[in-house]
Amino acid sequence: MSIQENYELAKKAYEKWGINVDEVIETLKNVPISIHCWQGDDVGGFEVNQKELSGGISVTGNYPGKASTPEELRADLEKALSLIPGKHRVNLHAIYAETNGEVVERDQLEPKHFENWVNWAKENGLGLDYNPTLFSHPKADDGLTLSHPNEEIREFWINHCIGSRKIGEYFGKELGTPALTNIWIPDGYKDIPSDRLTPRKRLKESLDKIFAVEVDEKYNLDAVESKVFGLGSESYVVGSHEFYLNYAMKNDKLCLLDTGHYHPTETVSNKISSMLLFSEKLALHVSRPVRWDSDHVVILDDELKEIALEIVRNDALDRVIIGLDFFDASINRVAAWTIGTRNMIKALLSAMLVPNEYLKQLQEEGNFTERLALMEEFKTYPFGAVWDYYCEKMGVPVKESWLEEVKAYEQEVLLKR
């Protein structure tokens, strides 16, 4: 059977439940995923005085072909994007600035250092998002930045974050779509602290100074991101989930939930509905935690499917900003982007091919037998046939055929670096 024939059969199966598959595909086409640039070069960046990774971040593996210049990174992103259906975004960190060989400290970065990225985004029809980089720097060597007891160090990072918001605003103005500028810091202590409150007071004061500088929300959206622990901050993280949740709510900022930044028994999918009740928008970094490593390549597992269901069933596709955050240097980096992003889109499509309103009704009626039965049966409905059709319609490889393109790109480009 052809892809079209399989699709027509699948449509009939879903239409019995009132699901218009053609409309689902049209909706999915307009859902952007923010693809993180740092998978392509192992979170290295392009600073002239480049430092090794720090701040609780570690990348393992030495697969050949890592991007070592902005041009290489953009070429690799273009290759990955050509294998992923839909129009998406690219998420940058401050360390991906281009300074033409000049040493520019992070608190001195300006929009001009990202002109090449903006021009490239325009050429490719992409939006850009942004993150200040508060790690891998001498002023972060002791594990503290915005909560540092040294005022001079705090001011350095405050100024870096203020400048970052202006860069995000620049992205939004130039590209016609607001940038999400997200603040994450590594601050914390390896062993049990004797004072948890004072560092958090300093962090709050630093954030207040950062956000006191006016930036047009039409072009830039501010977000703050928590973490449960990192390497070197196993016992205490200043910017905890509770800290940022309260700060975001009180100051009308977005609270960004990273799926790898919680205790092993916590799930972000269970947080989404609560967040949506109190926030107009919510931001996600979708990753895959495996024990103490929070950043494995996203797979189509139960939690990813449940996250997508929570977004879709709560009619929040335009309220949840979906970004990815993983880095694996043990496999082909272009393949990692492709696998993770295609899986995020697959999860959204799968969630849209469920009779969510009917299942809600069953729950309200207390009909838990039928609810469970249908939720299980829809796991084996012909979602794959719709996915194949969507990929073909969007002009990207169907099924695993994309892997041949990555293998060819590896031979022709990556292995020659």
Query: Which sequence positions are flagged as catalytic?
Result: 184, 225, 227, 258, 261, 285, 293, 295, 325
The rounded distance, in Å, linking the Cα atoms of 266 and 271 is: 9
Strands (DSSP E) along 23-120, which ranges?
A: 34-36, 89-93
- Cβ pair 80, 337 in contact under 8 A: yes
For helices 333-352 and 70-81, give the axis angle rounded to 10 degrees. 40
Instruction: Name 71's Cβ contacts closer than 8 Å, sequence gap at least 6.
Output: none
Cα dihedral 8, 13, 19, 20 in deg (nearest 10): 10
Query: Alpha-carbon distance 105 to 213, whole Å?
Result: 20
Report residue 382 as tokens. Answer: 């012909």
Q: How far is CA 225 from its chain centroid?
A: 11
- β-strands 188-189, 236-237 pairing: antiparallel
Residues facing residue 224 across a β-bridge? 183, 255
The answer to whether 317 and 349 have CB atoms below 8 angstroms apart is: no
User: Cα angle at 11 between 5 and 14, to 5 degrees?
Assistant: 150
Distances (CA, A) of 105 to 13, 108, 167, 338: 58, 5, 15, 33
- The answer to whether the beta carbons of residues 202 and 155 sit under 8 Å apart is no
